[in-house]
Structure formats: C-alpha cells, structure tokens
C-alpha cells in the first residue's frame, strides 16, 4: 500500500495534499491549513504557541493524519459520485495514462504538458480563464478534459512516443 513512499506517514501526507487539490483546486493550501488548524484545536492543541505549528500536515499526529486522509478520501468519493454521468469527463485511468506518458516517459515539465494538451485540443483554452492559462494551471485543465478528448490526447502522445522509439532504434 505504501509502495514508493519512505513510510506510512509520508504516504498519508502526500495523499492528503493530492486529495486537497482535487477537492479544493486553487484554494487547496488555505483549506488544508484551516482543516489542520481545526483538528489541532478540537484535540485541545494550542495553535498560538511559538512558530505557526499548523503550516502543514506534519503538525498532525499520525492518527490525525490518517483520519484526515480518510475524511478527504470519502469526500472525494462523494464528489465523484455526485457528478452527473452525462458530462462524460475524463476517467481517472485516462488521467493517470496522460501523466505517466508526459511526466515519466517524456519527462516534460508541467508547462510543456499544458501547452501540448492545448495544442492537441485547442477548444479547451476557451473553458479556462486567462490567469489559468498564463499560470499554466494543469489541474483546471485536466478538470475540463472530456473522455473523448482524453482519448485523442492519449493517441497523439502514443504516436509521439512511437516516433521517438523509432528514431532511437535507427
């Protein structure tokens, strides 16, 4: 369960941050800080002592971090279940495949991935704000991709991958 993580706690910390971004988007940092602050206050901790102890999830105990992870996980599952089925948004498997190819096979930075996806499916730029485009916000972009568009992106990425393998073999 904790493959590729140094410890169980590192797993929970990483997953808490990831789920916070999925749930809250751009406000993930502030929402996560307020959630950590609320947990510490309800457990009787003193938030005001010394340096700001709630700057991250590392201020939580292992049990509190585990509880926060499961709370965020259940919230995410409820959010996914409540989304209308007719929209046909990109599946989690498609998202993982795009990330796997761009990040791990091509080793593209987020900016390149962002621009290539917009190059492959230019109509996505109409659904993003100018600020999101300028700041290359990949999460809002991924949230706008529909299932058929994701298939199109994956096919294009696989063609690029195939061509690069052919060039290496020559």
pLDDT in tens, 98-114: 999 999 999 999 999 99
Confidence band, pLDDT 50/70/90 cuts, at residue 30: confident
Task: Look at the pTM and tell me if it is higher than 0.85.
Answer: no
Can you list the pairs that 34-40 forms with residues at least 24 positions away whose Cβ atoms lie under 8 Å? 35/68, 36/60, 36/68, 39/64, 39/67, 39/68, 40/64
Half-sphere CA count of 128, side-chain side, radius 13 A: 25
Residue 49 has pLDDT above 60, yes or no: no
Average pLDDT, the chain: 84
Tokens standing for 148? 């058929």
What is the 8-class DSSP label of residue 90? P
Report phi then psi at 33, rounded to 5. -60, -40
> How far, in Å, CA of 126 to CA of 140, rounded?
12
Confidence at residue 55, expressed as pLDDT on a 0 to 100 scale = 58
Residue 151 has pLDDT above 90, yes or no: yes
Alpha-helical (H) ranges within 25-137 are 28-42, 62-82, 92-99, 110-120, 130-134
pLDDT in tens, 108-149: 999 999 999 999 999 998 888 888 888 888 988 998 899 999
């Amino acid at each position: 369960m904790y493959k590729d993580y140094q410890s169980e706690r590192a797993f929970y910390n990483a997953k808490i941050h990831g789920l916070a971004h999925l749930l809250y988007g751009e406000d993930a940092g502030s929402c996560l800080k307020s959630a950590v602050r609320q947990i510490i206050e309800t457990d009787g901790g003193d938030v005001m002592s010394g340096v700001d102890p709630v700057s991250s999830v590392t201020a939580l105990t292992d049990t509190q971090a585990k509880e926060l992870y499961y709370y965020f996980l259940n919230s995410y599952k409820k959010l996914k279940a409540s989304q209308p089925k007719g929209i046909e948004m990109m599946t989690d498997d498609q998202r993982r495949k795009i990330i796997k190819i761009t990040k791990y096979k091509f080793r593209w930075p987020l900016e390149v991935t962002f621009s290539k996806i917009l190059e492959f499916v230019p109509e996505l730029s109409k659904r993003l704000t100018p600020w999101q485009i300028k700041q290359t916000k990949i999460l809002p972009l991924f949230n706008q991709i529909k299932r058929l568009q994701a298939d199109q992106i994956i096919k294009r990425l696989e063609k690029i991958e195939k061509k690069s393998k052919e060039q290496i073999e020559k």
